[in-house]
A = this chain, B = another copy of it.
Amino acid sequence: MDLSGKRIAVIGGTGKLGGALAGRFARAGLSVVIGSRSADGARAQAEAIGHDTKGFDNATAAATGDVVVLAVPYAAQDATIDTIAPHLSGKLLIDTSVPLQPPAVMRVQLPPEGSAAVRLQARLGEAVTVISAFHNVAAHKLATGEDVDCDVLVFGNEKGARGAGIALAQAAGLRGLHGGALANSAAAEALTSVLIFLNKAYAVDGAGIRITGTLNESAI
């Protein structure tokens, strides 16, 4: 999917992951708007990023965006969706949610629907196309300009929609890979708890994952 000319709205764009993604997207030349509960906070973050980034409250940002990236903590997802759902019809939503349930964040606790992404798609209905991505990337590493040694698995039921997620991963300087159906999001969502465990157990500064093997990009 060609993202040129499309506005990318990052909901939760003042958070760690959202802010880091928004900054990388903007520096890659994409048109970015930041959403936050506080419009003032969003404007300040947008100014800090520069590159003509704009900041609004979450609802206005969602209404302004052509493609919407959801980057709020899982616990805030329901309330955020209440706010932005009226502005998502016909759009592509890229969910970055990992269903962590503090305090046991090192333990996989997937929702009854199987994954946060499938739960979100069910909640939003067919008028919104949900894909998911960016579950395994350490936000603090994304926030710097450094190379991040992590692949981005992109899940969704439509190949074309997944392509938009892959294009965003590339814009963020990461390798994006088709990971299959939205139900497969469970794998990357669950893996994040494993990575948090690895960070603690092995004193790692932001473990990530790489898919190994020779991938033929032209096969897809």
A residues apposed to B, CB below 8 Å: 106-110, 114-115, 149-150, 153, 177-181, 183-184, 186-188, 190-191, 193-195, 197-199, 201-217, 219-220
Query: Which of B178, B191, B214 sits near A187, CB closer than 8 Å?
Result: B191
Contact A194 B180 (CB under 8 A): yes
Contact B180 A213 (CB under 8 A): no
Work out how many copies of this chain go into the complex. Answer: 2
Query: Which of B107, B179, B184, B210 sits near A209, CB closer than 8 Å?
Result: B210
Interface centre among A108, A191, A206 (most CB of B within 10 A): A108
Q: How far is the CB of A160 from chain B (nearest CB, A)?
A: 14
- The answer for the CA separation of A150 and B178 in the assembled complex, in Å, is 19
**Chain B residue contacts of A191, Cβ below 8 A:** 187, 191
Given contacts A186-B108, A209-B211, contact A216 B193 (CB under 8 A): no
Contact A201 B184 (CB under 8 A): no
**Chain B residue contacts of A203, Cβ below 8 A:** 215-216, 219
Contact B179 A213 (CB under 8 A): no
- The answer for the CA separation of A195 and B212 in the assembled complex, in Å, is 10
**Chain B residue contacts of A211, Cβ below 8 A:** 195, 198, 207-209
Pick 23 A–B contacts, CB within 8 A, sort by A.
A106-B181, A107-B180, A108-B115, A108-B183, A109-B183, A149-B212, A177-B202, A178-B201, A180-B197, A186-B190, A187-B193, A198-B211, A201-B219, A201-B220, A202-B219, A202-B220, A203-B219, A204-B213, A204-B214, A204-B215, A207-B215, A208-B211, A208-B212
